[in-house]
């Protein structure tokens, strides 16, 4: 093992298995002991073993280092095409510092403390990584084609309903509607017109899917063809949050002021623009 590498030391012993070897020098000098395999131990529903090469794994041309491996045991009991993903650590005990090292360093130098009174201790921790098959996919877009929808509301003064919906429209492969409260919603009643962007066709939207939108809602000045007001937001829409918008979209005092050009010939014009968005799907 190499010296000069930053060490990672800890006090807690390996959680799953340890090999303590007394008379380690005998093993080093005994050419008949090429490698030593531990007893089988179980972690995460699988059986494992440690394989130690005191003089290095000569099959891999290692002669001046100790080689230590984690191997899976009883593979004949596993199904055809088996695969096990694991995250594991291999340890060597530092007797002088009374701590465990998890990286490479010179082993047989007595000042390092790994070999004390001809005794050494190795260990391992194994975490079996089981794929749950769960995840998510997020797709985003910017500046979609045909990113705006204009809603011309005729016979505005005759509307008796508390709220009304625009026809359905599509932007960014998603169906939308505008939700309008002519006389305001909740705390804005009698003071403001309230306008919302609402996710349409939500009955066919999976519960685990969310739709993201960066959008603007505008009130049009019909005298000059400009925007009287513009409100901007970005939100995630889902089956539990179908609509986002503004309680105080336009003051009713401005709406009823003929000089503002917001209500002309009993027509109100509002507009929605979606400048970016996307979706998130869980699987």
CATH number at residue 81: 2.60.210.10
Q: Do 158 and 258 belong together in one domain?
A: yes
- For 241, other C-beta atoms within 10 Å of its C-beta total 11
d(CA 237, CA 37): 57
Please state the length of the chain: 283
The pLDDT of residue 228 is: 94
Q: Do 167 and 213 belong together in one domain?
A: yes
d(CA 118, CA 24): 5
The pLDDT of residue 11 is: 83
The pLDDT of residue 176 is: 97
Specify the number of domains making up the chain: 2
The pLDDT of residue 105 is: 37
Give me the half-sphere count of Cα atoms (radius 13 Å) on the Cβ side of residue 250. Answer: 30
The pLDDT of residue 206 is: 78
Q: Do 123 and 171 belong together in one domain?
A: no
Give per-10-residue mean pLDDT for the chain (283 aa): 53 85 74 82 90 82 81 89 85 77 46 54 80 82 93 97 97 95 97 97 81 97 94 94 96 96 97 95 81
Total-model pTM: 0.62
Q: Do 116 and 140 belong together in one domain?
A: no
The pLDDT of residue 154 is: 97
CA nearest neighbour of 154 among 270, 267, 262, 269: 267
Final residue of a domain: which of 68, 96, 129?
129
The pLDDT of residue 112 is: 46
d(CA 209, CA 240): 11
Residue 72: domain span: 9-129
The pLDDT of residue 7 is: 57
pLDDT (tens digit per residue) in 150-166:
999 999 999 999 999 99
């Amino acid at each position: 093992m190499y010296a000069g590498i930053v060490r990672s030391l800890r006090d807690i012993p390996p959680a799953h298995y340890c090999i303590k070897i007394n008379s380690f020098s005998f093993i080093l000098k005994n050419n008949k002991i090429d490698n030593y395999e531990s007893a089988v131990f179980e972690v995460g529903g699988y059986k494992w073993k440690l394989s130690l090469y005191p003089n290095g794994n000569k099959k891999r041309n290692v002669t001046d280092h100790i080689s230590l491996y984690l191997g899976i045991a009883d593979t004949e009991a596993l199904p055809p095409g088996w695969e096990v993903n694991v995250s594991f650590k291999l340890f060597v005990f530092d007797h002088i510092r009374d701590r465990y090292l998890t990286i490479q360093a010179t082993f047989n130098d007595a000042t390092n403390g790994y070999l004390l009174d001809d005794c050494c201790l190795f260990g391992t921790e194994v975490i079996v990584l089981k794929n749950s098959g769960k995840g998510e996919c997020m797709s985003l877009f910017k500046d979609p084609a045909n990113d705006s929808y204009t809603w011309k509301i005729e016979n505005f003064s005759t509307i008796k309903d508390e709220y009304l919906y625009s026809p359905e429209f599509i932007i960014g492969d998603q169906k939308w509607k505008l939700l309008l409260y002519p006389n305001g919603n909740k705390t804005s009643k009698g003071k403001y017109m309230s306008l919302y962007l609402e996710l349409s066709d939500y009955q066919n939207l999976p519960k685990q899917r969310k739709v993201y939108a960066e959008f603007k809602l505008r009130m049009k000045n019909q005298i000059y063809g400009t925007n009287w007001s513009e409100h901007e937001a970005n939100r995630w829409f889902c089956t539990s949050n179908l609509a986002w918008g503004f309680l105080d979209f336009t003051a009713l005092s401005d709406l009823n002021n003929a000089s503002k050009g917001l209500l002309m010939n009993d027509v109100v014009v509002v507009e929605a623009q979606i400048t970016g968005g996307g979706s998130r799907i869980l699987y």
